[in-house]
Amino acid sequence: MTESSEETLFEKLGGKEAVEGAVDAFYEKVMADDRINYLFEGTDMKRQRAKQKAFMTYAFGGAPNYNGLSMRKAHTHLVEEKGLNDSHFDAVAENLQNTLKEMGVAEDLIGEVMEVVGSTRDDVLNR
């Protein structure tokens, strides 16, 4: 089997419809979570969801590139103005993991997703 014929994480998760559904369900959890929902005050959530869908599509191998800001640039204002830190990152990751579990995603795929998410920690937290 050639490398190009291997299924991407994006495909394993169910493709566009599944990833977009997960992002929508994820933000429902985030906005109900008092540990982190204040970080999104004043945010256009429709636009935020679209950006997250585009990023996750790219990060999981469903698109060749991502045209949004780097993780570092996209989160600088949250670090500087709202004190974004590891506990916030962990709460966001927890909400994503719970969303995927509720959607019936296999544990091994959730592990792959969390590995990708975890790899962004230092950039998101501007370290």
Q: Is the pTM of this model over 0.75?
A: yes
Instruction: Please choose, from the candidates 74, 86, 85, 96, the residue with its C-alpha nearest in 3D space to the C-alpha of residue 22.
Output: 96
The CATH number of the structural domain formed by 11-124 is 1.10.490.10
Is pLDDT of 4 > 70? no
Up-side HSE of residue 100: CA atoms within 13 Å toward CB?
Answer: 21
Tokens of 89: 């990152």
- The per-residue pLDDT for range 66-83, each reduced to its tens digit, is 999 999 999 999 999 999
C-alpha span between 33 and 36 (Å, rounded): 6
